Amino acid sequence: MIRKLAISTLLAAVSLAPVSAAIADTVAAGASTTVAAPATPAAPAKTVSAKQQAQRDKMKSCNADATSKSLKGADRKTYMSTCLKG
């Protein structure tokens, strides 16, 4: 059992030796070992409808009011619900 484990450990070390040597050579040459992420195109800007913008503005306003009133928990939830409906 120990001999089988020693052989498998040795085989693993031998199979990784070329990779380790390549990394060591790269580092010794002063090159960076980091790999740059592939460039991804920027997502196109989404257009927002007037209705969506009105809802966002209402949400900001209600949120600011709830914050100024120091509402928290269930009281804040109830206030936000009422504010957004009205």
- Per the structure, the complete domain to which residue 79 belongs is given by 49-86
Instruction: Return the H-helix or E-strand segment holding 10.
Output: helix 2-28
Residue 84 lies in a domain: yes
Residue 20 lies in a domain: no
Residue 71 lies in a domain: yes
Query: Per-residue pLDDT tens for 25-53?
Result: 766 666 555 667 677 777 777 888 999 99
What is the value of pTM for the model shown? Answer: 0.47
Domain count, the chain: 1
Mean pLDDT value across the chain: 79
Report DSSP state, residue 70.
T
Residue 24 lies in a domain: no
Task: Output the pLDDT for position 48.
Answer: 87
Residue 40 lies in a domain: no
**Alpha carbon distance 11, 22 (integer Å):** 18
